[in-house]
A and B are shown apart, each in its own frame.
Chain A
């Protein structure tokens, strides 16, 4: 049977299918085969093979976020998108790009920078475009440019049954039909295999300045964040870095035309008070995840003004559990990452997460575990409670009735 499948996958990809090795395991779940289609058509052929042989499929770009989410409970085939790495169309005058899912974000940004443009996302992990969309990964600039779903204007994907479908298009303004691209964004490969995506672009700014201020008093953080978000500075990013010990830093990114940035920098320095400094370079921590090897990475959301409650809840939970947390992220939007050090075992992590989730209503947000060392995720609901889960299950049932795509990786066991 295995030989037949191997042969069919080879035929579907013109020889680009191989037996999996240990390195192909998905979040330590071993797999049997790896197929590397180079087009939407080949991807469809691979998915038809998977459908015929009832194979569970996990889509992989460069694998930078493959361990995010719950561990899939079955993986037979890894569908590697990295050969679909072409820039299909860059219409600079229209500020749009159409790109293969396997194109790396860094390569795309390099290609776009020639005509002075960029895709307005800067996540810490820069894998492929497909992975960017599938995980809805964001970075500091989402404060101004919005999350991935706001920049995605069209998508081509292959359904679990091998049917190719498109939604949206390559114009920014378009309300024809359902926006399936938004459903796919952040779906962690559980609804379809994205093969091509179209985005709106932004011009590269002519000038940029980072304005930082150290904050020593805990109450100072939410107060200053409120002042910044209600100001007229129009920052591109508003980032907090608060290590487990020592003081915190709030840093704004200001972008635009040189004279405008200069005067806004002066205003920002004034607003942020004593100790504020401006620089032409980002702080070393800018846009990076606040974790070291062996630590747990979480994503937390909060109402913008719920920041004070979030920080208090974190401090209380950390004090009670003895686990130090490093907070970093987009506090002007209400989405931060947390690095948790010294987690001894799965139970310790579960206790920490449960305690913080019990406080979640105070800050109006959610607590999601992205990545853990070892087997810490096994007994943990990494996604936490989800509103509208029955509707989500109904969507999954329609798109992937056989539960073939990354089964178990997503919310509520989807």
Chain B
């Protein structure tokens, strides 16, 4: 049976309005945040319960039909790109916050819950959900789990994987499995560690238990303008070198500032070659001391203007320019590619100079916005698709930047994920054996490769069952308490 054929089978279970087969409506789901990759799914189902998800997955498994889970569709690597012959399972109707458990510093949520909603729900009790991708107003927790999303504040607080303690997972065979919970260190393999960030290829999370973080006593933010990115980079090195771990350190170069000004009028200091936003949080006494130090490091390294946010409104203004940067480049360029490479932080000045050289040589403008604290670059490669040859040149510049990140011992993606977009770059970072080994995990969870196939890995691995030889029984196996394979 093909994916369309499943519609009739699923309709009685999920209800008519949860099954979409109309071509026009299917097209609504043809892409995620990576809008130039488009595939119309064969069938869309809107799941409302774990039982729905399990039923759909079981039907897919029985029919050998691939499925792709989708949250809010904000991903930037095409992780939720549909499969043309597959079912797209939309999770956004599962959006209930099931529990805010302050005493245990946990929340239990359905995967469609919006990241920022969770923080808002926890705030009255003095808590928040720490991972804060720039899309936090619309992205879902389920999507965050799939992509192991980070955000500006992950320098200090870590990524999604550091904040998930339990999952209810619908496996690619359609079984509902509980992994972890509110307590830490469940015995056995760290399946959570494998699943978070697996980009929907190991099953679908239907409930997520996350850590809640205490709202810091104090938050202080400064915006510092430098003549050049080199000086801003040196300031970052001085801050980290002094043992300060800020909640966030963000940098923008002149072109990115220009775009942000055009779009949101953030009013950054004029003539800046680089702007640094540094945010410190924690116990008030600790923050006060460190903040003075940070200000000193910025000044010592050539900052010509330092502004300190007096209140939350000013802080929001500082962040407005930074958080709107991706969309803002739309003001200065018809099209752009967002890169997500990572380099060792200390290589920042050198890598920025080389990006500038690549950009000059190709005649393609590159705006730089990045998480300077952890070396996660977001070069925005600007082009006009209407001009013949420009897309191709931009694609090449983008690829050259990826190579640069690998050359410096970094990564092809820091937080956006591999998805369908960067699968082709994986062999530049990993050997065939590395990729083959990762796919052993895939084979354990999804031997028929129906859960979001075609993502992450450029070449799928066939999952043959390898017969095991058995020797000497364990007493537990003899006693029927355990199995030996």
Contact = CB atoms under 8 A, between A and B. Distances in A.
9 contacts: A94-B375, A175-B150, A176-B429, A177-B418, A230-B126, A259-B289, A368-B187, A383-B188, A403-B471
Interface in A160-191: 163-167, 169-183, 185-187, 191
A395 B441 contact: yes
A23 to B, nearest CB: 23
Contacts of A146: 158, 162
A185 B376 CA distance: 25
B285 A263 contact: yes
B191 interface: yes
Contacts of B284: 232
B271 interface: no
Interface of B: 101-106, 126, 147-148, 150, 154, 158-159, 161-162, 171, 177-194, 196-198, 214, 216-217, 237, 240-241, 243-245, 282-290, 342-346, 371, 374-376, 409-418, 422, 426, 429-431, 433-438, 440-445, 456, 463, 465-477, 479, 481-485
A261 B286 CA distance: 7
A386 interface: yes
Contacts of A319: none
B183 A173 contact: no
Contact of A413 (B443, B468, B477): B477
A367 B183 CA distance: 12
Interface stretch (A106-114, A272-280, A404-412): A404-412
A175 B103 contact: no
Contact of B374 (A171, A226, A386, A412): A171
A93 B374 contact: no
B245 A182 contact: no
B437 A260 contact: no
* Nearest 9 A/B pairs, CB to CB: A182-B193, A413-B482, A203-B243, A260-B286, A305-B103, A165-B437, A401-B466, A263-B285, A394-B444
A404 B462 CA distance: 22
Nearest to A389: B188
B282 A234 contact: yes
B476 A381 contact: yes
Contacts of B286: 234, 256-257, 260-261, 264
B189 A183 contact: yes
A7 interface: no
Given A185-B190, A256-B286, A93 B345 contact: yes
Interface in A283-314: 299, 301-306
B434 A166 contact: yes
B241 to A, nearest CB: 7
The dominant DSSP class at the B interface is loop
A229 interface: yes
A391 B194 CA distance: 11
A365 interface: yes
Contacts of B479: 379
B409 A229 contact: no
Contact of A411 (B184, B187, B430): B187
Given A171-B343, A383-B187, A95 B415 contact: no
Given A394-B445, A396-B485, A401-B467, A335 B185 contact: yes
A70 B477 CA distance: 13
Interface of A: 54, 56, 70, 73-74, 91, 93-96, 116, 136, 146-147, 149-150, 159, 163-167, 169-183, 185-187, 191, 202-206, 226, 229-230, 232-234, 256-257, 259-264, 299, 301-306, 333-335, 364-366, 368, 378-379, 381, 383-384, 386-399, 401-403, 407-408, 410-413
Contact of B484 (A54, A395, A403): A403
A175 B185 contact: no
Contacts of B243: 116, 203-206
Given A179-B197, A397-B485, A402-B468, A150 B162 contact: yes
B241 A93 contact: yes
Counting chain A CB atoms within 10 Å of each CB, which of B147, B193, B245, B433 scores highest? B193
A234 B283 contact: yes
Nearest to B202: A178
Contacts of B417: 175
A229 to B, nearest CB: 7
B433 A164 contact: yes
A186 B190 contact: yes
Nearest to B244: A203
B285 to A, nearest CB: 4
B179 A149 contact: no
A368 B184 CA distance: 13
Nearest to B408: A171
B342 A301 contact: no
Given A70-B476, A146-B162, A388-B188, A413 B342 contact: no
Contact of B470 (A94, A173, A403): A403
A391 B445 contact: yes
Contacts of A407: 471, 474, 484
B187 A364 contact: no
B440 A179 contact: no
B177 A159 contact: no
Given A171-B374, A407-B471, 6 more contacts: A91-B346, A146-B158, A167-B434, A178-B441, A234-B283, A388-B178
Contacts of B245: 202-203
A398 B431 contact: no
A149 B186 CA distance: 13
Given A230-B214, A391-B171, A260 B443 contact: no
Nearest to B435: A177
A179 B413 contact: no
A268 to B, nearest CB: 11
B182 A364 contact: yes
Contact of A182 (B179, B190, B485): B190
Contact of A303 (B183, B374, B411, B474): B183
B285 A391 contact: no
Contacts of B214: 230, 232, 234
Given A335-B185, A364-B181, A408 B443 contact: no
A226 B101 CA distance: 13
B483 A412 contact: yes
Kindly name the residue among B187, B479, B484 whose own CB sees the greatest number of chain A CB atoms within 10 A.
B187
A267 to B, nearest CB: 8
Given A365-B183, A381-B482, A171 B342 contact: yes
B390 to A, nearest CB: 28
